[in-house]
């Protein structure tokens, strides 16, 4: 009797485990469900253009993001040393701000390039997607 209960329990546990893996796999976005790719009725040409815009953005932004991380690490070092120099800290903060501005401008240019190739219905869906993301980022965390 004990063996039968153990086998039944193990079978049930394995079934639940497999079901949870299937559910998680269905919830993960595929390559076409990435940010911005949930635009309705995209033509193949539009998809190709958006991929090109994204590639260009990534190529231009990568060195800036790397430099930004370096500057942030330098700021951390400057801020935590004994007898920290506030002028050096402020200079580093300005450098970080400049890099963040450059990245924001590149992202804005990407979004405008995408918007230019969309029709009115697609543009509304695209704009709504970014408004939802801004609302999520700005709302306080749920407890």
Mean pLDDT of the chain: 85
Would the pLDDT of 135 be above 70?
A: no
The pLDDT assigned to 6 comes to 78
Measured in whole angstroms, the distance separating CA 141 from the mean position of its chain's CA atoms is 18
Three-state DSSP state, 84: coil
CA proximity to 75, closest of 102, 101, 95, 100: 95
The pLDDT assigned to 16 comes to 79
CA proximity to 105, closest of 48, 35, 39, 57: 57
Would the pLDDT of 8 be above 90?
A: no
Give 136's pLDDT tier (boundaries 50, 70, 90): low
Contacts of 40 (CB under 8 A, 6+ apart): 121, 122, 125
């Amino acid at each position: 009797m004990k063996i039968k209960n153990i086998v039944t329990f193990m079978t049930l546990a394995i079934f639940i485990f497999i079901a949870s893996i299937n559910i998680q796999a269905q919830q993960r976005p595929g390559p076409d469900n990435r940010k911005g790719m949930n635009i309705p009725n995209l033509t193949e040409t539009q998809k190709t253009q958006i991929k090109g815009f994204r590639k260009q953005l990534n190529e231009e932004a990568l060195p800036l993001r790397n430099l930004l991380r370096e500057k942030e690490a330098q700021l951390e070092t400057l801020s935590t040393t004994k007898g920290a120099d506030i002028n050096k800290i402020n200079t580093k903060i300005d450098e970080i701000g400049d890099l963040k501005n450059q990245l924001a401008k590149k992202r804005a240019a990407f979004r405008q390039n995408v918007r230019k190739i969309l029709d009115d219905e697609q543009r509304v869906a695209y704009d709504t997607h970014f408004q939802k993301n801004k609302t999520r980022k700005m709302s306080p965390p749920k407890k």
